[in-house]
Structure 1
């Protein structure tokens, strides 16, 4: 094994403080995140503080899953999800395929006219650069809130379709998402090879050695530690994120 193995399972971990920005539809006693889906990665929430819910749209229709400390909820690619904050909601977010969400795996539920125009989508989803070490920039917060509100308007339309059509109401969103990310796939394959595929291959190799009575791979054992990235928490889809370079 190399000196710096992937984080267990090729996953990533971040600490999320859900936005306290009120939403136009009144969801959440305090605030709401930005609805979106992931095209490739599964996501899990481990609730560590506060309370709220995650709203989901999937082939099973609309659902709301209550979140309290100790609760774990996870979902697969294609599930539209939106966190709502009823007070001080904090979660540890575990993502499969570390690196892909940061490389564009998430697609926001913007209105159809934005989703079907790649240039408009890029403009609507981008945030201004945030200083990695300086104080909070209100311009970034304003942009993140505008992005959230635009995604909520598309989400309202999407939820109405799902209420009427069931899971079939997500078909147009899925088609648009596939078109938006298609050009990123070569980059994503390299990320997966270096992360989750590498981690799996090392496990398969270790099992083969153990099955034959060997344990030579244990001689390469190593320990890694990593502090959180410095500076203010960055603005994510559903809240402020403390992240680690894993």
Structure 2
């Protein structure tokens, strides 16, 4: 890959702007929803929320659904090829398999979910203990049968905590869901300084680079166009065990590699 130029991040960050990210410095992966059946008879992934990132599903094949919990209640949104669904920070989401469901995931903010932005809906006693939470959220390295079993146990534990949240919300009681949001925020609070640096070097620097380009165009000095070039990449890992399914990942500028499998 070539190297581009752009406006650096704000002074004092100690970071160099990450060159040539994907548009908007989004994270990119492909997912195939888990076919494992959960306690409620539904096949799918691990319910979780993100604290600062909006996530989008672009459905490329098969069928299924995404179940969401938010202040406006519980929703079950059908997914089929060509559909696009997205959810904002604080929305609990669970990808459900209906038949060979495959999606491309676009993730806001330079890969922050892989730096711990995502929190699973584990039962309250697990969420109350940060060390225990970390131990069950983390997967072993690799893609073998041991990792598959660990991913399934993690999914089942997240569903165990999710089902009471959903039941309460369906009955009009949003307090358990709000309490989960508050607990999730507390779990990640100490990570915020690191996230801020990633955001400054990735998504913010990307936006500021556009501002510098607009300034140059307005001044009649489009010299930056002389450095135009093209890029391509291949997956950096195939068939990893992600939160929602088997995951093909890309190591691209502006994003971080997965930390939670």
Q: TM-score range by the shorter chain?
A: over 0.9
Q: Does 1:18 align with 2:25?
A: no
Residue aligning to 1:186 = 193
Give structure 1 regions of 4+ aligned residues with deviation exceeding 2 angstroms.
Answer: 1-4, 164-169
Q: Does 1:238 align with 2:253?
A: no
Superimposed CA distance per residue, residues 223-244 of structure 1 (whole angstroms, 9 cap, x where no aligned partner): 22211114x4110001000011
Structure 2, unaligned runs of 5 or more: 6-17, 253-261
Structure 1, unaligned runs of 5 or more: 131-135
Residue aligning to 1:133 = none
2:225 to 202, 218, 235: 218
Q: For 1:69 and 1:99, locate their aligned partners in 2 and report how far apart those are by CA, in whole Å.
A: 25
2:165 to 158, 166, 169: 158
Aligned length: 237
Q: For 2:174 and 2:210, locate their aligned partners in 1 and report how far apart those are by CA, in whole Å.
A: 37
Superimposed CA distance per residue, residues 200-226 of structure 1 (whole angstroms, 9 cap, x where no aligned partner): 001011111112222122122232221
TM-score, scaled relative to structure 1? 0.93
Instruction: Indicate how the Cα distance of structure 1 residues 26 and 205 shifts in structure 2: closer, same or farther if over 3 A, else same.
Output: same
TM-score, scaled relative to structure 2? 0.87
Three-state SS of the structure 2 residue aligned to 1:165 is coil
1:112 to 116, 119, 124: 124
Alignment of 1:33-182 (within 5 A): 33-130=45-142, 136-182=143-189
Superimposed CA distance per residue, residues 157-199 of structure 1 (whole angstroms, 9 cap, x where no aligned partner): 1112212335444211111111110111111111111110111
Q: For 1:244 and 1:214, locate their aligned partners in 2 and report how far apart those are by CA, in whole Å.
A: 34
Do 1:19 and 1:33's aligned partners in 2 also have CA atoms closer than 8 Å? yes
Do 1:161 and 1:169's aligned partners in 2 also have CA atoms closer than 8 Å? yes
Do 1:228 and 1:242's aligned partners in 2 also have CA atoms closer than 8 Å? yes
Do 1:56 and 1:82's aligned partners in 2 also have CA atoms closer than 8 Å? yes
